[in-house]
Amino acid sequence: MVRCHSSRIRPVPMRDEVAFQSAQQRLRAAYDPQQFRVAAEQWGSLLAAHLEAVQQRQTRVLNWTEPQANVALAERWLDGGPAESSDMRPPAADRFGGIVQQMLDRGHNLHHPRYIGHQVPAPVPIAGLFDAVGSVTNQVMAIYEMGPWATAVERALINRLGQQIGWPQESFAGLVTHGGSLGNLTALLTARNVKLSGSWENGTASSGDKPIMIVHGDAHYSLARSAGILGLGTKSVLRGELDSRRRLDPQRLDEQLSELAKQKQRVVAVVACACATPIGAFDPLRDVADVCQRHGVWLHVDAAHGGAALFSRRHRHLLAGVDRADSLVWDAHKMMFMPALCAFVFYRNKLHRFETFRQEAPYLFDPSAPGMADFDSGMLTLECTKRAASYGLWGTWSLFGQQLFEDLVDVTFELGRVFFELLTATDDFVPLHEPECNIVAFRHVPAVMRSAPPETLSAFQFELRRRLIESGRFYIVQTSHGGVGALRVTIINPLTTTDDLNELLAALREIGTELLRNGWSAPRKTEEAVSKL
């Protein structure tokens, strides 16, 4: 019998019917399909005009504004909405276009052909429309019944990408997660649980001596972060030695693993890259796999950027041996030119898919339908609620076909080669490597800088880059090579042309000449920072 302790229950005040009706009216306006139709048409017109202006090079690449000014402006927009008494309909319709235009005017224009900076693409525009379907209707995943079509789309793409890797159907498993960093963490968590028995339940301290992870010397920082999160500790991450092309050296890796075995150190995983971020170096995966197999070590391949080269008949050789990886990360929001974020994690052995997380959640997973576990993404991913991250890729592939992805790789990789040849033909630019893909690192070294000390040469590159991007003419990034600062491009817009690349060199010369004419010298703080590279 349930007793009612009335003294503990607060009385509910009588509803203000007028206020309630007003609130409902405002909500109906916010959800009104007709208002959405008007806004969507306006949105389409504004975005089409924006893409046209950007692709015609009529705008700045980066709309640079100091952070404090942008934050203040964003707050002013928050304070400019309709009054509480308004039904929201006319103001929302009138104001929508202004809000969208403000977003476009202050954003970074990745569709500008002179955006050649980070490994973030100018996505195929129509992909955003497919993504928007999932956003507007809030298609989410964790269990199949919440996102049946999103799950089906994800599984279909996993099947097709696994075929590109070269694995037999039904032998492998995969999942989609929010980014390559989370993908690396997920795959390495699986490796830890497989290699360190009982570590999921009892922690890594219960498994004996401190385990080790070996990573490519130029590997992404997310791998050290993963080691910290997984309880291995960042100091357990050893850098594998590189060859003259900054690729993981299989012979030295073999020696390193042999030495660790003599010391009775356990290795959770070796992480190879396809390709590494600084200069786009692809590791010799077949030879690395031989070494890992000989030592019984888990091989994880970070192919976040370069995985898409598997679509290219000209470039898929760069990933020869990738089918022997135990796990693999591949970002569609890089070289498959999808909007962020859409990252795939693969396991060569399908049995490993449930080793990542060993938990029960009866409020989510239905024990009356155990066969659904294979289609409940929450069993495989760190996320519970997860957006339908594959809609853009599935829709674009369905519309344009697989050839689109080969073309995107071939064109941008070729532009990397073109840029390298332009650099080589000059006497004031120095390419720092022969590119294997669309990533090229280089320096601008005018005659007066040829005898400059490394810290001054570094500071000069950084100052060039800062002034260039703030001008809005181009967007490139900085890196270091051999401990000395450098410039770096990732040609990740297929509409970039040879003329754009020539203009980049001209712009850097112009800025460099102005700097030196005005007596530029490396600031002390910059020299100190460079000395730590």
Query: Over its length of 533 residues, how does the chain's per-residue pLDDT go in tens digits?
Result: 445 555 566 766 667 888 888 889 989 988 999 999 999 999 999 999 999 999 999 999 999 999 999 999 999 999 887 655 454 455 566 799 999 999 999 999 999 999 999 999 999 999 999 999 999 999 999 888 899 999 999 999 999 999 999 999 889 999 999 999 999 999 999 999 999 988 888 888 755 678 999 999 898 889 999 889 999 999 999 999 999 999 999 999 999 999 999 999 999 999 999 999 999 999 999 999 999 999 999 999 999 999 999 999 999 999 999 999 999 999 999 999 999 999 999 999 999 988 888 765 554 555 555 567 778 888 888 898 999 999 999 999 999 999 999 999 999 999 999 999 999 999 999 999 999 999 999 999 999 999 999 999 999 999 999 999 999 999 999 999 999 999 999 999 999 999 999 999 999 999 999 999 988 888 865 545 544 44
Q: Do the Cβ atoms of 163 and 310 come closer than 8 Å? A: no
Predicted TM-score of the model (pTM): 0.91
Residue 441 has a pLDDT of 98
Q: How far apart are CA 501 and CA 517, in angstroms?
A: 24
Q: How far apart are CA 208 and CA 196, in angstroms?
A: 9
Residue 354 has a pLDDT of 86
Q: What SS3 state is found at 138?
A: coil
Token output for 483: 């401990």
Residue 203 has a pLDDT of 84
Residue 209 has a pLDDT of 73
Residue 132 has a pLDDT of 97
Q: Do the Cβ atoms of 32 and 89 come closer than 8 Å? A: yes
DSSP state string for 431-450: E-S--SSSEEEEEE--GGGT
Looking up tokens 């409940």, which residue turns up?
A: 376
Q: How far apart are CA 271 and CA 364, in angstroms?
A: 34
Report how many helices (DSSP H) and strands (DSSP E) the chain contains, helices first: 16, 13
Q: How far apart are CA 346 and CA 167, in angstroms?
A: 10
Residues whose CB falls within 8 Å of the CB of residue 344, separated by 6 or more in sequence, listed in order: 157, 158, 161, 174, 175, 176, 177, 183, 307, 328, 329, 330, 331, 332
Half-sphere exposure of residue 443, counting CA atoms within 13 Å on the CB side?
A: 23
The dihedral built from the CA positions of residue 375, 378, 379 and 382, taken in this order, carries a sign that is positive
